[in-house]
Amino acid sequence: MFSALPPHIFKSITFDCGKEFSNWKTICNQHDISIFFADSGTPSQRGLNEHSNGILIRSGLDKELDFNSVTEDHIISVAQNINHRPRKSLGYKTPLEVFMSFIEDEKLSSLF
């Protein structure tokens, strides 16, 4: 996933303690990204992530949802909705607008 992006697009990533992040050293070394881990039981250390989780839930992707029953079209629709929704934390720009402002490679920008 990261290899398709321009170098240094991400300065840091903050993980929780989930096993899905067991490959963090490889990500850190291959992409020169600082990695941080939130303390267990402290969602406030990942406030923006927790806010984004709330957006996902309000978009119909509850934590208890069985993803085997979700269509790819629904997931794409939710992702587009989230990526095109202006955010106060981004100066009322959309996540896609902010991301694209860092992309200089025309081949990459045409993917979005």
pLDDT digits over 1-54, tens only?
566 666 667 777 777 777 767 777 777 777 778 888 887 777 777 776 666 667
| Distance in angstroms (rounded) separating the CA atoms of residues 61 and 70 | 9
Q: Is the pLDDT of residue 84 over 90?
A: yes
Q: Same structural domain for residues 93 and 52?
A: yes
| Distance in angstroms (rounded) separating the CA atoms of residues 100 and 70 | 28
| Distance in angstroms (rounded) separating the CA atoms of residues 46 and 39 | 10
Q: Is 107 among the domain residues?
A: yes
pLDDT digits over 52-80, tens only?
667 776 777 777 888 888 888 988 888 89
Q: Same structural domain for residues 19 and 57?
A: no
Q: Same structural domain for residues 77 and 53?
A: yes
Q: Same structural domain for residues 27 and 71?
A: no
**Of 2-6, 53-57, 99-103, 107-111, where does mean pLDDT reach its minimum?**
107-111
**Contact between 95 and 83 (Cβ < 8 Å):** yes
Question: Tokens 């990204």 label which residue?
Answer: 33
Q: Is 2 among the domain residues?
A: no
| Distance in angstroms (rounded) separating the CA atoms of residues 40 and 92 | 31
Model confidence pTM above 0.75: no
Q: What are the backbone dihedrals phi and psi of residue 102, each rounded to the nearest 5 degrees, phi first?
A: -95, -10
More confident residue, 59 or 86: 86
Domain range for 27: 8-37
State how many domains the chain has: 2
Which structure tokens are listed for 9?
């697009």
Q: Same structural domain for residues 51 and 87?
A: yes
